[in-house]
Amino acid sequence: MSLRLDYHGDLMKLDRQINWNKLKSSRLLKIWLLGFFILTSNCEGPHYYSEQQLSSLQSQDIIEVLILNQPLSFTAKGSTQAGVSLSKGLDFDLLSEFANFYGKKIKFIPFNNESDLIGQFQKGHGHIAAGRFPKSYITSLGFNSGPDYEAASLSLFCHRNIEINGVADLTQKKVITFERYNQVLSYQNLLKENPLMKIDLWVNGSSLRAFKEVQVQRNDCLIALHSEGLFFQKQFPNVEFKMKLKDYFSLNWMIQKDLDYLNPLLKAWFQAASRDGSIIKILDRYRLISENVDKRDINQFIKNTKETLPDFVTFFKQAGKIHELPWELIAAVAYQESKWIPHAKSFTGVEGFMQITKKTAKDLGIIDIHNVEENIMGGAKYLKQLIQQMPPHLNSSDKVILALAAYNIGIGHLNDAFKIAISEGKNPYQWHQLRQTLPKLTEEKYFKDTQFGEARGYETIDFVERVKVYYHYLIQSQFG
């Protein structure tokens, strides 16, 4: 990690080169493009909305969303400083994008259990309810549903000591399932297949708590969304995937029955956002959380959060407060850099918690690079400077992702990667596209014409993805 703060002007020049991205980000043009997309699309079929429906949305002061507090949907834990955060959850990010698209403010009201959320929604509170609900469940409650934003499947996860090859092997096994999945996969039908299995039907309770139950074998198995299972499986080493039970159903948001105008607007936005890459960009953040780090790494990380982090968490929180960053983000960077080892030193000569070079330390005003508090404070200061150098029209999550890449590879090499991406017709500010470009910095035919030459771009991808994973686990921890 090296300090190259003098290339901010180059980033701004690049930003002007792709001013189409700024234009597309303007709200008026977005709404105009939306009309174009819904008339020309033949992928899902056009979604029309009337001027009256758009007017109804614009007349709302704020969009209120009742949201379930659970990983991959919304995380109430974790700190947010000056609007800087990586992400708060898939439903949170998607619906924030929807509100931003139409220039509306949005308010999220979190609920810790499903029955309270549904109860309040049934009383007319909120415009939208979010909690990774199957479309069939929403229909059964009598609400309207939004766009099919994720194709889902249900899987069986069990304690690793239990051998399961089919439903017949669940005899006398205690299996947690959720009421919200009953329209997709009826527990009554499961009991017909094996009347001797013991179904524990949860109306409330989170997937996180269910996985904890199986981890300590208070229950033998649970039925959960496959994507959630991949997320939690690495956090709970005693839990293993056993088999798929149901494939291909959609997750949706609930919409109040009397708000007919919201459904076509949500679907029209989703269709346009799918085409301009906004949806895949958001989904990509969470897909990689479950795929990029293996269970052994997560187990070691969780162990270190219990044994090592308490000694340093105060320093992270102080640095976060001073530099207006989530402390969990700083801690995640530090863990990826040094595994929270105070005197860590790499073969490139960078040192300490945040792996800072002596020259960078001097530029940042660090007197003793081996002083943990100073090292953390300096690394946080540098990360904040990098975030501030990113193009101003980007949202907070995109700025943080690109700043993490710059922290690892240097702002000069990142600038080179931007130029290569642009030359290939890619949007350099979308991480899922830039990720395809960074490894090319190791290929001579690409780096020979760059300003800063060869760089290990594949290491930068690994760095960013791992920081994202550690950050998400930290905001779920007891320290959040």
Is 98 inside a domain boundary?
Answer: yes
Query: b vs e for 441-463, b when ≥16 Cβ sit within 10 Å of the residue's Cβ?
Result: beeeebbeebebeebbbeebbeb
Range of the domain at 316: 298-475
Q: Are 265 and 118 part of one and the same domain?
A: yes
Residues listed for the chain = 480
Q: Residues 143, 151: contact at Cβ < 8 Å?
A: no
CA 106 to chain centroid, in Å, comes to 18
Give tens-digit pLDDT for 153-162: 999 999 999 9
246 or 294, greater pLDDT: 246
DSSP 46-63: -----HHHHHHHHT-SEE
Question: For residue 368, what pLDDT band results from cuts at 50, 70 and 90?
Answer: confident
- Give the side-chain half-sphere CA count within 13 A for 67: 25
Q: Per DSSP, what are the bridge partners of residue 128?
A: 65, 255
Q: Are 81 and 127 part of one and the same domain?
A: yes
Question: For residue 3, what pLDDT band results from cuts at 50, 70 and 90?
Answer: very low
Cα separation values, 421 from 410, 437, 445, Å: 17, 6, 14
Percent of the chain at pLDDT exceeding 70: 85
**Which pLDDT score, from 0 to 100, does residue 113 have?**
86
Give tens-digit pLDDT for 254-306: 999 999 899 999 999 999 998 888 888 887 777 655 566 777 888 889 899 99
Q: Are 108 and 178 part of one and the same domain?
A: no
Closest of 94, 82, 108, 109 to residue 327, by C-alpha: 82
Quote the mean pLDDT of the chain.
85
Element (H, E) at 39: helix 27-40
Question: For residue 43, what pLDDT band results from cuts at 50, 70 and 90?
Answer: very low
Is 87 inside a domain boundary?
Answer: yes
**CA 234 to CA 291: how far, in whole Å?**
10
Q: Are 142 and 267 part of one and the same domain?
A: yes
Percent of the chain at pLDDT exceeding 90: 60
Q: How many CB atoms lie within 10 A of CB 302?
A: 16
> What is the mean pLDDT of the segment spanning 397-424?
94
**Which pLDDT score, from 0 to 100, does residue 464 have?**
93
DSSP 203-234: SS--HHHHHHHHHTTSSSEEEEEHHHHHHHHT
Q: Are 309 and 272 part of one and the same domain?
A: no
Is 2 inside a domain boundary?
Answer: no
Q: Residues 316, 331: contact at Cβ < 8 Å?
A: yes
Give the residue ranges of DSSP H helices in 350-410.
358-364, 372-389, 396-409
**CA 222 to CA 190: how far, in whole Å?**
13
CATH number at residue 317: 1.10.530.10
Q: Are 201 and 326 part of one and the same domain?
A: no
How does DSSP classify residue 103?
Answer: T
- Give the side-chain half-sphere CA count within 13 A for 71: 29
Q: Are 98 and 168 part of one and the same domain?
A: no
Quick check: 1 pLDDT over 60? Answer: no
**CA 267 to CA 251: how far, in whole Å?**
13
**CA 265 to CA 62: how far, in whole Å?**
15
Amino acid at 17: Q
Question: For residue 30, what pLDDT band results from cuts at 50, 70 and 90?
Answer: very low
**Which pLDDT score, from 0 to 100, does residue 22 have?**
41
- Catalytic member of 114, 228, 240, 337: 337
**Which pLDDT score, from 0 to 100, does residue 18 have?**
53
Q: Are 357 and 429 part of one and the same domain?
A: yes
DSSP 288-328: HHHHSS-HHHHHHHHHHHHHTGGGTHHHHHHHHHHHTS-HH
CATH number at residue 192: 3.40.190.10
Question: For residue 16, what pLDDT band results from cuts at 50, 70 and 90?
Answer: low
> What is the mean pLDDT of the segment spanning 114-137?
95
Helix, strand or coil, per DSSP, at residue 328: helix
Q: Which residue has the tokens 């013991």?
A: 198
Question: For residue 89, what pLDDT band results from cuts at 50, 70 and 90?
Answer: confident
Quick check: 12 pLDDT over 70? Answer: no
Q: Write phi, then psi, for 395 (nearest 5 degrees).
A: -80, 170
Element (H, E) at 105: strand 105-111
Q: Are 36 and 83 part of one and the same domain?
A: yes
Highest mean pLDDT among 29-33, 214-218, 277-281, 296-300: 214-218
Q: Is 424 among the residues known to form the active site? A: no
**CA 427 to CA 434: how far, in whole Å?**
7
48 or 219, greater pLDDT: 219
Question: For residue 4, what pLDDT band results from cuts at 50, 70 and 90?
Answer: very low
Question: For residue 14, what pLDDT band results from cuts at 50, 70 and 90?
Answer: low
**Which pLDDT score, from 0 to 100, does residue 153 have?**
94
Question: For residue 19, what pLDDT band results from cuts at 50, 70 and 90?
Answer: very low
* Number of domains composing the chain: 3
285 or 251, greater pLDDT: 251
> What is the mean pLDDT of the segment spanning 375-379?
93
**Which pLDDT score, from 0 to 100, does residue 391 have?**
92
E strand segments, 256-376: none
> What is the mean pLDDT of the segment spanning 456-469?
92
Q: Is the four-CA dihedral 78, 82, 86, 89 of positive or negative sign?
A: positive
**Which pLDDT score, from 0 to 100, does residue 120 have?**
96
Is 237 inside a domain boundary?
Answer: yes
Q: Which two tokens stand for residue 471?
A: 């950050």
Q: Are 155 and 195 part of one and the same domain?
A: yes
Quick check: 215 pLDDT over 80? Answer: yes
Residues 6+ apart with CB under 8 A from 126: 64, 65, 66, 109, 120, 256
**Which pLDDT score, from 0 to 100, does residue 289 have?**
55
Is 256 inside a domain boundary?
Answer: yes
**CA 115 to CA 123: how far, in whole Å?**
12
**CA 380 to CA 374: how far, in whole Å?**
10
Q: What share of the chain is helix, strand, coil (3-state, %, to 5)?
A: 55, 15, 30
Give the residue ranges of DSSP H helices in 69-182.
90-101, 114-122, 135-140
Is 390 inside a domain boundary?
Answer: yes
367 or 322, greater pLDDT: 322
Phi-psi region of 118 (alpha: psi -120 to 50; beta: other; left: phi over 0): alpha
Give tens-digit pLDDT for 306-355: 999 999 999 999 999 999 999 999 999 999 999 999 888 877 777 788 98
Final residue of a structural domain among 188, 221, 250: 250
Q: Are 135 and 167 part of one and the same domain?
A: no
Q: Are 356 and 467 part of one and the same domain?
A: yes
Final residue of a structural domain among 241, 268, 291: 291
CA 363 to chain centroid, in Å, comes to 33
Is 3 inside a domain boundary?
Answer: no
**Which pLDDT score, from 0 to 100, does residue 79 have?**
55
DSSP 138-165: HHHTT-EE----EEEEEEEEEETTS--S
80 or 380, greater pLDDT: 380
Final residue of a structural domain among 272, 291, 310: 291
**CA 234 to CA 107: how far, in whole Å?**
32
Is 5 inside a domain boundary?
Answer: no
